[in-house]
Structure 1
Amino acid sequence: MSLDFVFAPLAIKVGASLDQVKLITCLLISYPLGSLFIRIPSTQPTLKHLFNIAIASFYFVPVLNHGLPFLLLLGDVVVTYFIALSVQGPRMPWIVFFLMMGHLFLNHIERAMYGDPFDGSYNITGPQMVLVMKLTTFAWNVWDGRRPTEDLDKWQTKMRVTKFPSLLEFLGFSLYFPGVLVGPYLEYATYSSLVDGTQFNGTTYRKMLFALGYLGIHMGVAPKISFHTAVTGWFLEQSLPYRILIIQIAGFVERSKYYGVWTLTEGASILTGLGFVGYSPSGTPIWNGAANVEVWKIEVPENFKGLVDAWNIKTNVWLRECVYKRVTPKGKKAGFKSSMLTYLTSAVWHGISAGYYLTFLLGGFVTTVGRLSRSTIRPLVLPAVPEPTDRKAANGPAPKPLQPPVTLVKIVYDVVGTLCTVLVVNFTCTPFILLHLSEGIEAWRQLRWYGLWMVFGAMAFFYGGGAAWLKGFKQGALRDENPTQGLIQLVWPDQ
């Protein structure tokens, strides 16, 4: 039975699409449902698993009308479960990875052939993308549980699965309702501790208010200013500086939609007890373990790496742990090849639209420029840490490390780095939203390709001898008799 008759009048009243109203409604009712979930005794884990399965089924079938696609997702869950259970060798996680990614990619193709991937409607590929992260991570966690602990890093040791779950437990984990529609995903070890009651509970409806504010910004401003503005005749009539300014505003407006839905799911997850990471020095509980976005670090980023780490956080963890680390040979340092394979995986995971590939291809080069900048330029502007005035006593505590002084050069470096990061990111992400190859290229053309000039100009400098010159300049300064004089102090270690 479809519940469209309930949501259709509301969609007309608020001026939003039916799919948008149904999705936001599911995210909002996850708040009171989260309060119910946390009240199920930890001595009754079966009830918690069944609760997740029931709520997820309610979302998919009568609300979103995705009955058959939901059964296909359940098929992915069952297939992953039995592969992880029966295949014992190191190929197991790769088998799961390629099967799940392949099924997702086929659904992306099917949507392009028989639907409209550009109409903005809510499609089953959305929750399937979340499920792919969850299932492939589970496969790697199981494999890590079969490996010697000395071969594992900190994250792998923490998330390894040593006790294989029952099918009911695995279904409850796969269909954990606060994140089943738009994420973020969670690892099985985290879900297990949540059900066992070893996570702590916290409540916050403040997240919901912020989320609704972000969604209000997007709904109110996007019809007037968005990345789609870049392919209008009006946009081309404006001066180039004004066009560049508009695209920066459009970037925040486009991101506000993601801020809204991710913050909504974060709040609902917290209500179930997920996200507690400890206490601050003042004793205040910290509940950011379920966060999928850190808005300030994105809108005012220190550098590109910091921005990427703060955006779609759980997806970045998945890409890092299940792709980036796994394609890097043991004992070798990850480099350009690992980065590009990771970005390619992210593009395929998102879909087949050419705009994704433009964005992630350029993103790989931006990452390389950022890495070169941090290793060659940043050490030149970071001041030296002064020596502590109080030495450690015989049996006394060690002196507190002193913070490096703030210098004018470092301030200028930070400001310029933030401006460059914002400019490049909004340029790079424009095709991601426009989707079509022609519109993505046209938007870049109307922006006079400024992002390409910045990125490839920097690469030409670094690979044309600039990186070697900067490193030589630093080493020469360190050999000076008094290298700490002047505005630039050169004795800070590489970071």
Structure 2
Amino acid sequence: MDAFFVPLAQAAGASVDQIKLISCLLIAFPLGSVFVRIPSSKPHLKHLYNVAVTVFFFLPVLQIPHAFLQLLGSVVTTYAIAKYHTGPNMPWIVFVVTMGHLTVNHTIRYLRAQSYETMDVTGPQMVLTMKLTTFAWNVFDGRRPVQDLDKWQTSKRIPTYPSLVEFLGYAFYFPGVLVGPYLEYVDYMELITEKLYEGHVKENAKRNLPGGRKRVAYRKMVEGLVYLGIFVLLGSKYNFATILTPWFAEQRMWYRLLCFQPYGILERCKYYAVWTLTEGASILTGLGFTGYNASGASTWTGAANVIPLAIEIPSNFKVLLDSWNMKTNVWLRECVYKRVTPKGKKPGFASSMITFATSAFWHGVAGGYYLTFILGGFITTAGRLARANIRPLVMPAEGQSTTLAKRMYDLAGTIATAMMVNYVAVPFMLLTIKDSLVAWYRLAFYGHILIFSSLGFFYAGGAKILQAKEPGKATPNGSGSTTPVGEKTFTMPPSLDSVMPPRK
């Protein structure tokens, strides 16, 4: 098939592996339309269809059979562990095995200094690791009393162990097998059995599917291709690597800070492209149905992994993180953060740090990832403190829609968040600590200055001063409020994972 892909790669100015990956994502659209035509009365055919398409992607198209064999080995190993080990440590055994395997491959890739243009096992394995560890916890919850589970655990529990064919179909669900997003086993089976649409299919429908699916799916395909086009035309020339060039160093500081911001948008376009394409292909298979809106049109937001508008025009850092790589955030919250917290206790600092460490190891072993996640932790803390201590001062009075102060606060929050996400993402894309520090130096370390000056202000007494100014918060003697400096809630770590292999 290289005779077909090589000319396309030369014409587009991209690597052959990149063209192959995008081709697989586009091929998934017509294959998704075939998938829904397999009757739900023959679920085994749907499972086998998923496996067959995945084999087609890995062998004749991508030509990385060794990667598929590694993934298959992880799937079979997880299936055996979860089935025959019924003890409380079963999910953690699966976690260590799958994460350990992934870390080994991350290390091999790092030592080989492979560029992001090279497709290998690590990208798909990151998605599969989330699936397998989630499956293990779902099985574990299925063996526990329902009264011991929370709402999410109850809805995703697996009380009856699946057959190997069912599990293979789930593990190799083809629209998301290469770059995600992942899905829980219960949601996959509701897709296979079409239970997802019970009570929502209109009379005289040709198939047991709500209408409007194709409209949404192909709109997502167009959006994905637009993002891809932007990245191909501009992203290859204007990106974070430009900061390391002599030209950038020669510019005045105000110009560096100004022209640097669009680089982040262009870098993110490739993620928007692949995630929007996989979302569209998933919708064509019937995944993602979330009911009907007020006008009666069907909605298909359940397969979304990114909300670009909320990322580029965010009101605060938490909104941004909640809109980026959404499925990975769910995995970290449900399979790490909650699980490492002792029963009967609230999650605290230790739970947060373990979750951050898991996210870092999941992404890879390059030093740039850890610079991003460490700074990201401080950013979320500063954002939480600002929201807890400044926002109440600008909120409109009861019955008042908004105020100038509130609008200015929102505008400042949007600008600061956009600037911070671009700044914190630099090491993630440059990967090495040396390049990351050089880039931050050329940006005058503005992110560090903003964050640590804010933290210094709040913890040096600024929070008490602000709380005292809030109506009803001042104590009788005029001192500041005794309420905590900031809420002790956990904000998911920045999950800026690379759907394509890391940049060299």
Q: Does 1:40 align with 2:38?
A: yes
Q: Does 1:436 align with 2:449?
A: no
**Fraction of identical pairs, as percent:** 57
Number of positions where the alignment pairs a residue of Structure 1 with one of Structure 2: 462
CA deviation vs aligned residue, 1:391-432 (integer Å, no higher than 9, x gap) = xxxxxxxxxxxxx62111111111111111111110000110
CA distance in structure 1 between the partners assigned to 2:415 and 2:247 by the alignment: 26
Q: Does 1:30 align with 2:5?
A: no
Q: Does 1:459 align with 2:417?
A: no
Q: 1:351 aligns with which of 353, 358, 364?
A: 364
SS at match of 1:186: coil
CA deviation vs aligned residue, 1:431-479 (integer Å, no higher than 9, x gap) = 1011111111110000000000111111111222222333333365577
CA distance in structure 2 between the partners assigned to 1:330 and 1:372 by the alignment: 28
Partner of 1:128: 125
- 1:214–1:260 CA contact under 8 A, matched in 2: yes
CA deviation vs aligned residue, 1:235-286 (integer Å, no higher than 9, x gap) = 1111212111222100000000000000000000000000001111222211
Q: 2:325 aligns with which of 292, 302, 312?
A: 312
CA distance in structure 2 between the partners assigned to 1:334 and 1:236 by the alignment: 44
CA distance in structure 1 between the partners assigned to 2:142 and 2:159 by the alignment: 5
Partner of 2:19: 21
Q: Please state how far the C-alpha of 1:62 moved relative to its aligned partner.
A: 1.2
Q: Which amino acid aligns with 2:336?
A: V
Partner of 2:502: none
CA distance in structure 1 between the partners assigned to 2:383 and 2:349 by the alignment: 12
CA distance in structure 2 between the partners assigned to 1:11 and 1:117 by the alignment: 18
Partner of 2:482: none
CA deviation vs aligned residue, 1:160-219 (integer Å, no higher than 9, x gap) = 111111010000000000000000001001000000012344222111111010011111
Partner of 1:109: 107
SS at match of 1:278: coil
Partner of 1:292: 305
Partner of 2:393: 380
Partner of 2:194: 197
CA distance in structure 2 between the partners assigned to 1:199 and 1:216 by the alignment: 34
CA deviation vs aligned residue, 1:307-352 (integer Å, no higher than 9, x gap) = 0010011111111111122223334333443333222211111111
SS at match of 2:196: coil
Partner of 2:87: 89
- 2:46–2:169 CA contact under 8 A, matched in 1: yes
Between stretches 101-110 and 455-464, larger displacement belongs to 455-464
SS at match of 1:279: coil
Q: Does 1:228 align with 2:225?
A: no
CA distance in structure 2 between the partners assigned to 1:165 and 1:263 by the alignment: 30
Partner of 2:200: none
- 2:18–2:117 CA contact under 8 A, matched in 1: no
Partner of 1:138: 135
Consecutive unaligned residues in structure 2, runs of 5 or more: 198-208, 477-486, 490-504
Partner of 1:8: 6
CA distance in structure 1 between the partners assigned to 2:114 and 2:334 by the alignment: 29
Partner of 2:413: 417
Between stretches 182-191 and 116-125, larger displacement belongs to 116-125
CA distance in structure 1 between the partners assigned to 2:66 and 2:236 by the alignment: 34
Q: Which amino acid aligns with 1:239?
A: R
Partner of 2:182: 185
Query: Normalising to structure 1: TM-score of the pair?
Result: 0.90
Counterpart mapping for 1:249-328 below 5 A: 249-328=262-341
CA distance in structure 1 between the partners assigned to 2:149 and 2:314 by the alignment: 32
SS at match of 1:184: coil
CA distance in structure 2 between the partners assigned to 1:284 and 1:331 by the alignment: 43
CA deviation vs aligned residue, 1:57-104 (integer Å, no higher than 9, x gap) = 010111111112211110100111111111222211111111111100
Q: Which amino acid aligns with 1:255?
A: R
- Provide closer, same or farther for how the CA distance between residues 373 and 479 of structure 1 changes in structure 2, counting only shifts above 3 A: same
Q: Say what the alpha-carbon RMSD is for the aligned residues.
A: 1.7
CA deviation vs aligned residue, 1:32-62 (integer Å, no higher than 9, x gap) = 0000001100001000000000000010111
- Provide closer, same or farther for how the CA distance between residues 197 and 119 of structure 1 changes in structure 2, counting only shifts above 3 A: closer
- Provide closer, same or farther for how the CA distance between residues 328 and 378 of structure 1 changes in structure 2, counting only shifts above 3 A: farther
- 1:38–1:273 CA contact under 8 A, matched in 2: yes
Partner of 1:60: 58
Q: Which amino acid aligns with 1:223?
A: S
CA distance in structure 2 between the partners assigned to 1:143 and 1:131 by the alignment: 18
CA distance in structure 2 between the partners assigned to 1:455 and 1:218 by the alignment: 30
CA distance in structure 1 between the partners assigned to 2:410 and 2:258 by the alignment: 20
Q: Please state how far the C-alpha of 1:122 moved relative to its aligned partner.
A: 1.4
- 2:468–2:475 CA contact under 8 A, matched in 1: no
CA distance in structure 2 between the partners assigned to 1:106 and 1:239 by the alignment: 43
- 2:50–2:174 CA contact under 8 A, matched in 1: yes
Q: Does 1:211 align with 2:208?
A: no
SS at match of 2:314: coil
Q: 1:337 aligns with which of 350, 357, 364?
A: 350
CA distance in structure 1 between the partners assigned to 2:470 and 2:342 by the alignment: 31
SS at match of 2:381: helix
4+ aligned runs moved over 6 Å, structure 1: none
Partner of 1:360: 373
Partner of 1:487: none
- Provide closer, same or farther for how the CA distance between residues 277 and 459 of structure 1 changes in structure 2, counting only shifts above 3 A: same
SS at match of 1:199: helix
CA distance in structure 1 between the partners assigned to 2:425 and 2:369 by the alignment: 9
CA distance in structure 2 between the partners assigned to 1:158 and 1:472 by the alignment: 44
Q: Please state how far the C-alpha of 1:23 moved relative to its aligned partner.
A: 0.4
SS at match of 2:19: helix
CA distance in structure 2 between the partners assigned to 1:49 and 1:5 by the alignment: 31
- 2:15–2:117 CA contact under 8 A, matched in 1: no
Q: Please state how far the C-alpha of 1:16 moved relative to its aligned partner.
A: 1.3
Partner of 1:160: 157
Partner of 1:489: none
